[in-house]
Structures are given as C-alpha cells and as structure tokens.
Chain A
C-alpha cells in the first residue's frame, strides 16, 4: 500500500510519457493523411473540375482632350436578366407580361425563359423608366427570378463634339469606330484571370494570385484635339453647311511642326450616344470620319505643291515669268478637245500671279518645266516623286481607323494632258482632307514631312504623368527657302487673289482655294462640287494649318466663296484662343461698342498651349455641376464665351463694310 513517492511518481510519469507518445503518433498519422495521402489525391483528382478561371475585365480608360478635359466617361447600363429555374410563373405568362414593357416580341422572351440555362438576358441597356415599370410589376405580382444587372457603358460627355473622332463602342463595351477602336488595346486594359474554386456548390474561394497581380485599369487616352478649337471648327463649319445645305463638310486644324491635330470636324455631326436613332433613320453615314475616309480631287489647292516643287528642283525661280497664254491653252488634237481654261485670263506673268489668280495654264506650264528640267531626258518621275513626297497616293498613317489611301496611279502611262490636269488638281489625283492638311503642313513648317496624329499620349491613371506617343521627324520634301517663297505667294492669294474672303482683320494668313467638280456617273458634274480652302496662319511663322472642304453646297460654286469664310472664322477664333499676337488692329469699332481693340498682348512667340494657371483656364468656370459641361452649355449660349474676352467679334461686321475697308 505504501510506496516510495519517487517510485510511484516515476511509474505514473511513464504512463504520461506513453500518453504523450500516443498523442504525438496520432497527430503525425493525421498529418501524414492530410499532407501526403490527400495531397496526392488532390493532385490526382480533377481539381480543375472544381475550379474555373474568371476573366476580370478592368474598367475602360477615359478619353481626354489635350488639356486633359474629359471627353468620354464611364457609366453603367441596366440589363434585365431572368433565372428560368427560379421564376415563379409560367414562361408564357411572364413573356406576355413583359413583352409590352420591354418592347421585345413575346416569342423571343418565351424562348429565352424556357431555356435550361441558369440565367438568360431578357433585355440589355434598358432605360430607368422601363426598369421602374418592371420593378413595379415585380413588386405588385411578387415575381421571382428577375434581376437587374449593372454593366459598364460609355458616356460621351460633350455630346456630338468630335463624335466621329471619338467613335463608339458596342454593347459589350468594345470599340467599334474612331479612337475607341483605334486605341482599343490601351483603353480596354489588361484582363486578368482570377482562379476560383467552389465548395458545396455555394461557396466560392479565390485562388490568391489576384493579390499579387493587381489588374490594370485601361489607360486614359489623351488626344491632341483641343476641345475649344474643336468646338470653334465645328461651329464655323456647321453654320455654313447648314446654311448651304451641304452634303458634307470637313474642317481640320493641325499644328504644322508636330502634326498634332487640334480639331477634326465633320458635318453632319454625330453624337455617339444617339447611335440607335441614327441607325433607325438610316443616317449611319454620320459616324463616318469623312476627313479621313473621303478622297477628293484637290483642285487648285494642288498648285502650291507644283510651285514648291518647281522652286525646289530649280525648274523655276521666284522671279521666273510664266506664259499663261491668255487663260486659254489648246493641246494637240487627240490629247484634249477642249482648251484648258483659266477663270482669270493672264498673259506672261511672274510665278506669284499664277498662284494668286489660280491659273490652270500656268500651273501646267510649271509642271512641264519640272518634267523637262533636263531637256535631254524629260522625266515624269521627278514631278511624281514630289507629289508622292507631299503625300499624294499614300496614307498619312493617322491613328484613326478607315483611312482611305489617296489616289495617284497610272502615272507611268500619263500623256501631256494627264500631266497638265494633275498640275491643277483634277484627273488622276485624289487626296483625303487630312492628307491635304498634312501636305500643307510641309509648306507651313519649312518643307519637312510630318505625321498627323490625334493621340498625344496615355495616362495610367488620373494622377500619373503623361506617357507620350512617339512621333518620328519626317524627311525634308522641299527646301526651306522654297517653302517660304510659296508661303509668301499664298499670303498674296489671300491679300489680293482668289482667297480674299479668307482675309482676316487680325492675322496675316495665307492659303489657297480649291474647286473640284465631282465625278457623277463617270462624267464631271457642273453642279456637284467639292469646294475647299487650305491655308495657314499667322503668315510667319505659321502656328496652325487649316483645311476646310465643303461637299456639294447648294449655291456657292467656288472654294473662295464657300470654304474661305469658314477658314477665316476658324483662324480668327483659334488664334485668339491661343493668345497669338494679332498682326493687325482689327476692324473699326462699331457705334454699339463692339469690335473693340483687343488688350495689349506681350510680344513674341508664346507657347502653343500655355499651362493652365491656378486661377483658371482660358475658359472661366461657371457655377454648374461639371465645369466642362457647363462651359459647353455656356459656349452654346454665348459664342464669344469660349474665346475669352478678347475674341474678335466678327459676326457684327457686315460683309460689305469689311470689303471696303480692305
């Protein structure tokens, strides 16, 4: 009965040691089961059955103008979905109930509700009103199995502003046109795969890789387009096109040194959010970016290139005398039956006059001189190479989709007539307005080729630095001096030639009119015309190149009449907006106090786009919800608003008065 404590305890402690050994053994067995046996089972059994990859699409990037003002924004659309297994009414009954509300046919709805899928889409992108009505039905009849889902959608903040440039997305939020399509890869961002597993058919467990790879949001695209200049261009173009009932109108404002497109306006205008209405009324043509997709005969806007080429290769000198043959040149029979005619008959005149009064005969002569530069071996190639270098017969390579290649084909088989008509921009040569703008940039910037582009750069998010697009510098097409001489001649065109309607009260501008008859049913039509004006401002050094094309206006028959006033409006307002020092003092003040002189501006060249100052941008910010939206509303109400206080108010000056003044 009595035992030594030590012996007793040590025996019991042996029991305890045995107990702990047992416990440890049990644990190790359990661990072996979990970690070795089940690990193998986990690897062998289809773990894939339980898992699935979920594609996680990041939010689409925004589109901003060059000053990072918002153009396109993300919103949500509502989609009505149904779970066919969860609905508590017969499919036919539910279809009959919902069909009138959703305006979807009863059969379609019934077929969807009878499918054996887990969930079917009844209608996407329903309006709030419809959603409210469906909700009321759900509440009043206590329906089950109907759900609303939110899906991402795009909101074009500025309505129709630059609609064709921005493009639109389809119902799956994928870009279909314009920048939305061209920059799809940047805007859509990087999709990531999230690995998920399911347990007991209800619980979802994520694999945790998503923690390490943060999904990228689509990059914001910053355009070279300036919202205000775009608005200026659209307003000037829209006014004239509406007045003239033109079939189409195009205006491009481009920076000649960099090729940055500041505005790209197309009439009729296109509001991406009203795509459905356009589709219903057969107006889908509106979505086309005609500055890029349409090609026209350049008409007389071609002549400055011919002159520049002649000066560059030495075929003519600035003081050369060209024989315009009294504005009427007959070609040998067999080449051409009718003579080549000039509007303004001239005899032997300096080169400048050929441009100033737009002599077709003179332009043809210069082209001939280029071809016959070396009398031993006349070479059409020399002339055509210049045209190629100016961008005829090529694409500019602008980022926007659907660019049409200019036309310059079959030149190997050209006869004399073909050469002469090419020299004044008809016949076998065609170019898109954006191509023409790029070609004028070459004249404006001193002879260097530029790449027109609309994307300035990308932003990873709203706080990051701009990651600019890389645009290479082009090769020289003509020498600086030739380009300068042609610019001077083009200034003369506006001063006293065919382009006087482009003359500005504020800025010295240069440009050339163009009138091309369109080919209708394989013959040149007298009534279908594409009128154009291409020019630059101010004269030296040019800050912007503007091309305006009016397609088939009702009354006006010449580029100088239709397109030149639009050019003038765009130049005046844009340069004022850019704070370019005026060359002239402007029109005389009218008795009602308008047309006052602008305030004194600091002399010298200023940055094209001064950085926004803390106390406000160019445009004052009215007290509205969104500054951009408010500015747009205000600008529509008051045309001078967007131009700042110093904008020249040309609307008040009657046409006749101004004519006399100059």
Chain B
C-alpha cells in the first residue's frame, strides 16, 4: 500500500516552489518600488539630508539647511517620470519568473539520467563559460562582452542578455559530483584515492569562481560540495581533505581581500552599518510586522540589497515573526522533501543528484537567513526563489525541475509502491566507510 503522501511529493515540490516564487514577487515589489522611485536622485537626497542633519545635530536649536531645497525642487519635477519607474524591478522579476517556470518545466520533463550521460559536454560547457568570462574582454560594449561590476567579473553579457557562469557552475558541479560519486559506487569503490581524480575538475571550477572574485558563490559551493561528499561517502579522510581544501581556499581569499577581512572582523566585533539596519528592521517588525509596503528597511539607503540579498529583513519588518518563521518552515519542508526524494530513489545518480540539489538550495536559503539575522558573517547570497535576480532564479528553477523529475522517475520506488515492487538491492555496490 503506497502512502498518499509519498505519491504527492512531486506536487508538493512544485506547489512549494510556486508559493515561494509568488511570495518573492510580492516582496520584490514591496522592497524595490520606492527604491526605484527615488533611484535617480538618491544621491542628491542623501547629500541634502546628510547636510541638513549634520548641521542640525551639531548645533542644537538651529537648522541652517538651505541647499537641500535645490535638490528637492529637482526631485519634484521628476516625480511623474519616477512614478512610472516604480514598477521597473517588479516587471523585470515577472519576466524572470515566467522564464523560470519554462526552465522548470523543461528540466522536469528531461529524464534525469540524460544529464549523467551527457556530463562530459555539460562540464565542457560550464568550464567553457567560466573561461569565456576571462577570455572575452570586459566592458567593451560589443554584443558579446563580460562585465566588470563592483570589482567582480562575474557577468557574461550576450546581446543585453546577462548570464552568470558561476550559477551554471553550481548546478554543473553538483551534476558532476553526483555522476562521479554514482560511478564510484557502481564500480564498487568509494575511497579517498578513488575520489582524487574528481578533484582537479572541482578545483578548476571553484578556482575560476574565486578569480571572478565571487566569494559568496565560492563559499556556498564549497560548503554544498563538502556536505554532499560527507553524506555520500562519509569517509573521515574525504571530509578532512575537502574541508581542508575549502578552508584553505576561503583563508586565501580572506588573506588577500581587505573587504573580506573587514567583514569577518565586523562579525566578531561590531555590527556593520548594514547589519545594524537589518537587525533593527527585524526588531521593528515584531510579531505581526508593520504591514506590506510600510517597512522602513525597504526605503533605507543604508540597507543595501533590500530587494535581493537582504530581502529577508524586509520580510521580517513588514510581515513579522509569524511570516519569517513560516518562511523558515517552508525552506525546511523543501529540504525534507528533497531528502525524501533522495532516499526514495534507487538509482545512485538520482540519489546523489537529489541530495546535491537539496543541499545546494537548502544551504543557500539557510545561510542567507543566518547572514541577514546576524548569525554568520556577511556574504553576498540571494535567498533562493524569493530574492530578485534573474540568473539565480533561473538556475534554482532548473534545479527544482530536476528534483521534481527525479521524484517522478521510474527509479523512484515511492511512485511504484513499496509493497508491489521491492526496492532493488544495490547493484552489488559497496560502501567503504
């Protein structure tokens, strides 16, 4: 007798994804509308207000602000134009969400073993894209160019269409790892030595990501791979090896980058200004929140990335503890469903892939929430499925599609029924602990 809940896993996965994405749309609008509205003259605002405040706070009882009015006049004149621009971010995100659902449908309809069969080409594509980032000159204005934004060279622009190779690398490396681990299992040996040949590929990709100076992705990927290998192979030696390598990589970044060092120092000593604002936002929100669109965090000039990396703080302020804890529960449900899919799959590749995808998305979600609540040092992460950002959303949706495909596949005994068909014994494989 097959349990109905097991049969519902793909549906639940799809519904959960949809719910999160729609919730994300609402939050993206709430946190970006006013920001879009005033983006044009934001700098003027800042300067004008700073000036007034500095003067007023320095000299009690006197306000000598006369200059701000010039910028205020300009602001009013442009009001109408900027009112129209309030929807900019929201409309872009809607387009990305629609594209994301197409990607999900595509990934869910491709039989997942195909990814394993074409892994060579896939890895070539992933590494090729990453390499292209450095081969194609940056900011040239040509139809094909790489973009150097804020000192990080992580965008490939093809005819105005932007691609983030590190995002492809994430899913690519998870595919590769699952394929590789599954092969080892099928060959009957999953030892430290047998995993060594995979390392150069992983190291090359992670190294390229580090070269892009995309530290957030690198940290996230290393952590995800570490968790995957720990859960798959579980050998202490492997854990130590991977952990050592990841730590070394992170250490190298921290040692070379002034910014990364200051973030770590901030974490252990005093909150950064951004963190202070994020925490303030959570506290202002209270149990029920201030109401959608009523939050100050979304307007605050000090909370950078309120509509992407720090969207959780906006949720916290506007919708309160009740919604933030529900969101945590939502991601927990996603992780548990993913683990259930992994456990239910009889094919090692499917198991590892489901596990990898679950870890990838779960780790990103929990890390982001930990960062925004001040439990971890600040790193640039988006909240998967909720934050604004096309590349990240598309790849997450593809990953979800693959997960749904695995949950629906013929290799999954949940669908075939435990009672009717006995789970196939593991094809003579051995696990070395």
Contact = CB atoms under 8 A, between A and B. Distances in A.
B430 interface: yes
A59 B65 CA distance: 8
A151 B49 CA distance: 16
A74 to B, nearest CB: 7
Interface in A95-111: none
A39 interface: yes
Contacts, number: 176
A34 B279 contact: yes
Contact of A5 (B75, B270, B320, B348): B348
Contacts of B331: 24
Given A24-B329, A42-B283, A56-B65, A206 B75 contact: no
B64 A26 contact: no
A3 B321 CA distance: 44
B66 A76 contact: yes
Name which of A9, A54, A74, A151 has the most chain B CB atoms within 10 A of its CB. Answer: A9
Contact of B324 (A5, A23, A31, A200): A31
Interface stretch (A211-219, A413-421, A469-477): A211-219
B389 interface: no
Interface in B310-335: 316, 320-321, 324-325, 328-329, 331-332, 335
B252 interface: no
A81 to B, nearest CB: 7
Interface residues of A, number: 65
Interface stretch (A12-20, A447-455, A621-629): A12-20
A210 interface: yes
B58 interface: yes
Nearest to B227: A16
A38 interface: yes
B57 A196 contact: yes
A83 B217 CA distance: 49
Contacts of B346: 6
Interface in B43-57: 45, 49, 52-57
A20 B332 CA distance: 7
Contacts of A215: 68-69, 72
Contact of A36 (B64, B66, B73, B321): B321
Contact of B283 (A12, A21, A38, A463): A38
A4 interface: yes
Contact of B73 (A54, A196, A198, A461): A461
A34 B332 contact: no
Contact of B52 (A1, A41, A54, A208): A54
Interface string A123-159: 0000000000000000000000000011110000000
B38 to A, nearest CB: 7
A10 interface: yes
A165 B59 CA distance: 34
A207 interface: yes
B30 to A, nearest CB: 14
A194 interface: yes
B284 A57 contact: no
B202 interface: no
Given A4-B426, A35-B321, A204-B54, A16 B302 contact: no
Contacts of A194: 49, 52-53, 56
B287 A39 contact: yes
A6 to B, nearest CB: 6
Nearest to B282: A34
A52 B316 CA distance: 25
A99 B23 CA distance: 68
Contacts of A274: none
Contact of A56 (B34, B63, B369): B63
A294 to B, nearest CB: 37
B423 interface: yes
B210 to A, nearest CB: 26
B106 interface: no
A34 B296 contact: no
A199 interface: yes
Given A20-B336, A56-B65, A34 B72 contact: no
Name which of B53, B329, B346 has the most chain A CB atoms within 10 A of its CB. Answer: B53
A337 B95 CA distance: 104
B9 to A, nearest CB: 14
A57 B63 contact: yes
Contacts of B425: 4, 6
Name which of A4, A31, A210 has the most chain B CB atoms within 10 A of its CB. Answer: A31
A55 interface: yes
A24 B332 contact: yes
Contact of A28 (B64, B76, B270, B328): B328
B234 A20 contact: no
Contact of A152 (B64, B320, B329, B366): B64
A204 B282 contact: no
Contacts of A55: 56, 63
Interface string B359-376: 100100010011001110
Given A5-B426, A81-B59, A16 B366 contact: no
Nearest to B316: A35
B20 interface: no
Nearest to B354: A13
B53 A204 contact: yes
Given A5-B429, A118-B58, A214-B76, A36 B53 contact: no
Contacts of A3: 431
Nearest to B352: A9
Contacts of A463: 77
A399 interface: no
Interface string A276-290: 000000000000000
Contacts of A36: 286-287, 321
A9 B343 contact: yes
A30 interface: yes
B299 interface: yes
B402 interface: no
B57 A204 contact: yes
A207 B296 contact: yes
B283 A35 contact: yes
Contacts of B63: 54-57
A461 B79 CA distance: 15
Contacts of A210: 49
Interface string A359-398: 0000000000000000000000000000000000000000
A34 B283 contact: yes
Q: Which 10 A-B pairs have the closest CB atoms?
A: A5-B426, A35-B321, A39-B286, A54-B56, A34-B282, A24-B332, A59-B69, A152-B66, A38-B283, A208-B299
Given A20-B339, A32-B325, A194-B49, 19 more contacts: A16-B231, A16-B339, A16-B359, A20-B362, A24-B331, A30-B375, A31-B282, A31-B321, A34-B374, A35-B316, A36-B287, A42-B284, A118-B58, A118-B60, A119-B58, A150-B66, A194-B53, A208-B296, A214-B76
21 contacts: A6-B346, A12-B231, A13-B231, A13-B355, A20-B339, A24-B366, A27-B373, A32-B321, A35-B287, A35-B316, A36-B286, A38-B283, A56-B52, A57-B65, A59-B69, A149-B59, A196-B53, A196-B56, A214-B76, A217-B73, A463-B77
Interface of A: 1-6, 8-10, 12-13, 15-17, 20-21, 23-24, 26-28, 30-32, 34-36, 38-39, 41-42, 52, 54-59, 74, 76, 81, 118-119, 149-152, 194, 196, 198-200, 203-208, 210-211, 214-215, 217, 461, 463
